[in-house]
Amino acid sequence: MTSGAQRTTLILVRHGESRWNAEGRVQGHCDSSLTPRGRAEMQKLAERLASKDIAAVYSSDAGRARESAELIAAPHGLTVNVHQALRERCYGVLEGKTLEEAARDETGWLQAWRGDRLRLAPPEGETQPEMSQRVMAALREITAAHPGHTVAVATHGGPIKSAVFHILQIPVSSWDLTWVANGSITILRGTPDLMRVAAFNDTAHLDEEPTPTWRTSDIGRES
C-alpha cells in the first residue's frame, strides 16, 4: 500500500435468513423474503452498526439483501445503493429447488457438478471463479468511490467468501472448510489495489451461534 493512501473500510454483511435458506432451496439470482428470524438477525446487526460512521450502504439487487441493507441504512439516514454485481452466484436450473428435487429431474450433469461444483457451472449458471471476478470488480469500484470512509455492503455468502479467498489467496479446494453465517460481518480494509481481511464471519451481535453449513447438500442454505 502506498504511503498516505486513504484506506476504505468495507463492512460486508451476509443477509439475514431467508425463507429458502430455511427450506434448503438454492437461491442464487432468484429470491425469497427474510424470515422473522432473518429480520431479527438484521435488526441486531443494524443496532451494532448504528454507532459507526458509515458513509454509504450498498446492496445486491436481491430483495433479501436490499431488505437487510435498508435496516442497516435507516439509523444513518442513508439511501441504499443497489449494485447488480454483488449478487449471489447464479445456479441456473438449480434455483428454487432443493438438491433432492434437482436429483429427481436432472439429466446427467448433477453428479459431475457435485464432484467439482466450484469449477463447473450448473446449466444456465456460472462458476465460482466467474462470480469472484465480478464481485471483486464491484468491491474495488466501491472502495475507489469512498476513499478513507466506512461503507456497509449487504450481499451473500458466496460473494463474501469469494472476496476473502481471493484476498488471502486461499485455493478454492478449501471452500468447504469455512462458512459465512446469515447476519454475519466480514471486514475488508485497504485501497482498490490492496485489500486486507480485518475480520471474518463475526456473529457476536447474534443471540445464538449459527449452525455451520459445510456440506454440498446444504448449498441451498449457503446462498
Enzyme catalytic residues: 15, 88
Quote the cell numbers at residue 137: 470488480
Q: Per-residue DSSP letters for the chain? A: --TTPPPEEEEEEEPPPBHHHHHT---TTS--PBPHHHHHHHHHHHHHHTTS-EEEEEE-SSHHHHHHHHHHHGGGT-PEEE-GGGPPPP-GGGTTS-HHHHHHH--S-HHHHHHSTTTS--TT---HHHHHHHHHHHHHHHHHHSTTSEEEEEE-HHHHHHHHHHHHT--GGGGGG----TT-EEEEEEETTEEEEEEEEE-TTSSSPPPP--SGGGHHHH-
Closest CA to 194 of 166, 174, 153, 152: 166
Strands 54-59 and 150-155: parallel
